[in-house]
Structure 1
Amino acid sequence: MIRSRYLAAAAALACTVPLLATQSAAARPTSRPAPWQQVGDGITSGVSGIAAVPGARAGRTDFLVARDNKKPGENRLAAIRLRPGAPPLVRPLGWKGSEPPADLEALDAVPGRPGEYVALTSAGTGYHLRLAPDASGARTLGTFTVPGASEDDNYEGFALTTRAHRLVAVWADRGADSRPGTLHAAELDLARRTFGTPVTAAFHAPYPAEHVRHISDVKISGSGALTVSSASDTGDDGPFDSALYDAGEVTVDRRGTVRLSVRRGPVPLGRYPGHKIEALTCLPHARQGVLGTDDENAGGAVRTMTGAPCGPR
């Protein structure tokens, strides 16, 4: 029943709502956006983080996804395969090398290291992972804690990029209603699992307006541009609402100083009613991205998109 209701709602709501309130219906895009595709039923099957797995071929694209489950025996990682004209293939993966973490909320691939990823929990613990060659599971290579993590924070975003030949991490506390989200950026030495001095900036999403998580994920484009997803969460049965923003950029100067610039007025990229977006990723060498949702009792869904947040800006 949940699946039937969810699919009916997804069919009705699978559209990107233009963010200009004054835009007339006649001026809106007429092309049909990609539909949401369900990748799990129930509260343990949401998508809280997503990263592309290299090696797409014949239109097939593989992804590694994180799930924010907390109890023993519940799945933490899964593989998703998207194929044109076919439903997604979803396969739970094993967790090896450490005790399974609680509440994974973000995931990104390590640039230049195929098969390696970093997942982050809501408490700020990072897991450096290597995906098995046969994608049967992932092994923990090491762990770290992001600088300044406190019990008052609730991290939901994590991203990696290479700038000026340096590995830079961006992570984000989600904020709540009147408390903005906070973006942090620093150089990351993944071999030692240590960070340089972090810089921070506040981010306030103009929409959604209530029960809002100002940052539900963050990703970095090839140009260094920061895309932030924001979401409202009124409870396990929703209703949910989400938006994407061009939030600013991360740069590294010639001396290796990491700089984080956040727009005072973030540029809206789209609204996504009926879903709680908690994950986004870009495909390597393409202007196509994938959004993932954690819709609690309604499970998880993904959809592809072209352009922002994955096009050069």
Structure 2
Amino acid sequence: MPRFLKLIVNIVILGALLFCTQRVWAQDWRPVRGGIPFGISGIAFIEKQSNSLDFLIVHDNKKPNQGRLAIIRIKAKNQPEYFALNWPSKTELPNDLEALTSIPGTKNTSYIALSSLGKAYYIKLESDKKTISVIKEFSLPAFPQGSNFEAFSLQDIDGKLVAVWAHRGEAEQPATIYWGLLDLTKYQIILTSSANLKVPFPYGNVRHISDIKVDPAGVVFISAASDPGDDGPFQSAVYIAGSLGFRNNKILFKQNLQLVPLYRSEYHKIEGIELVPGAKGGLIVGTDDENFGSSVYIMGGE
């Protein structure tokens, strides 16, 4: 076989293999909705049924005619179903919601959404799963001017409601993780302390923390993402940032100084993560891929 013909054959075979690889890779990720208004900037678990998982998601929209909340339902290997939720008409629309967490002890009926400017919204998902009510609006403790928050999580640790939130950081500027205790009777977070953090991957236009979640043992999971523009290319990774625990009745954060990527993506901008226990659970990630819309992927799921 002539050398040139052999080269052509090799290119064809390689192209076919790459195409198959892309198809397999694409099947792992499930598209949710297309377009910038449907990016997922935060995600929280609602319930698990026999063959499906339901999640509440927030969008970082700013215009009046754009959605802020939705429910997605994941059934088996099917593409997620999307159900838009209306923000209560008598309450001012939030601007740039970037994080979402369930409130421990409420059986996944109550949540707190956080805007990039540090405004928190205590919301309740009604039993019909079609409407929400806003219980209270409040703010994070005082923070430096120019902060941009993309992460917020609550967890019951040793019987106390621990709050963790983060300024995302960018490029050479590190992210800042804050932690403290939330008093829901006063709608007040008492700040304990903070720490700076930079991830080894992605590079370049990196936001060192794009979301955060804490498990009942106090393990702190984060995502990081690279955002060079509305058309990408995007990169993301998931890490364990450290752990939270009490010592002498004070909540302490033990930071992981050697961050290991648990997962990385060369194609998506992960902005939402959630922990789902059980045999069909795992760590679910949601993306805000700008012009390419949103997708979800379950690490460790079926």
- Asked whether the two chains share a fold, i.e. TM above 0.5, the reply is yes
The 5-angstrom pairing of residues 190-269 of structure 1 reads: 190-255=184-249, 257-269=250-262
The 5-angstrom pairing of residues 262-277 of structure 1 reads: 262-277=255-270
Contiguous gaps of at least 5 residues in structure 1: 1-7, 16-32, 308-313
In structure 1, the residue matched to 2:50 is 58
Structure 1 length normalisation: TM-score? 0.85
Q: Residues of 2 paired with 1:48 and 1:110: CA distance?
A: 18
Change in Cα spacing, 1:13 to 1:275, as seen in structure 2 (3 Å) is farther
Higher relative contact order (CA 8 A, sep 6+): 1
In structure 2, the residue matched to 1:117 is 111
Query: Do structure 1's residue 69 and structure 2's residue 61 form an aligned pair?
Result: yes
The 5-angstrom pairing of residues 1-313 of structure 1 reads: 12=22, 15=25, 35-54=28-47, 56-96=48-88, 98-114=91-107, 115-255=109-249, 257-285=250-278, 288-306=282-300
> What is the root-mean-square deviation of aligned Cα atoms in Å?
1.9
Change in Cα spacing, 1:247 to 1:281, as seen in structure 2 (3 Å) is same
Cα contact 1:219–1:227 (8 A) shared by 2: yes
Cα contact 1:123–1:149 (8 A) shared by 2: no
Structure 1 residue 14, shift from structure 2 partner = 6.9
Cα contact 1:230–1:242 (8 A) shared by 2: yes
Q: Secondary structure at the match of 1:44?
A: helix
Cα contact 1:14–1:36 (8 A) shared by 2: no
1:107 alignment partner AA: L
Cα contact 2:157–2:217 (8 A) shared by 1: no
1:281 alignment partner AA: E
Structure 2 length normalisation: TM-score? 0.88
Q: Secondary structure at the match of 2:87?
A: strand
Q: Residues of 2 paired with 1:37 and 1:91: CA distance?
A: 16
Cα contact 1:13–1:273 (8 A) shared by 2: no
Q: Residues of 1 paired with 2:264 and 2:102: CA distance?
A: 26
1:244 alignment partner AA: V
2:182 alignment partner AA: L
1:197 alignment partner AA: L
Structure 1 residue 150, shift from structure 2 partner = 4.0
1:112-134 deviation line (CA, Å, top 9, x unaligned): 11200000000010101100111
Residues paired across the two proteins, number: 280
Structure 1 residue 138, shift from structure 2 partner = 1.5
Structure 1 residue 288, shift from structure 2 partner = 1.2
Structure 1 residue 149, shift from structure 2 partner = 2.9
1:172-198 deviation line (CA, Å, top 9, x unaligned): 000011100000000001221112233
Structure 1 residue 57, shift from structure 2 partner = 1.4
Structure 1 residue 77, shift from structure 2 partner = 0.2
1:36 alignment partner AA: W
Structure 1 residue 305, shift from structure 2 partner = 1.4
1:283 alignment partner AA: V
Change in Cα spacing, 1:285 to 1:58, as seen in structure 2 (3 Å) is closer
Q: Residues of 1 paired with 2:124 and 2:185: CA distance?
A: 13
Cα contact 1:123–1:155 (8 A) shared by 2: yes
Structure 1 residue 254, shift from structure 2 partner = 4.8
Contiguous gaps of at least 5 residues in structure 2: 1-17
1:117 alignment partner AA: Y
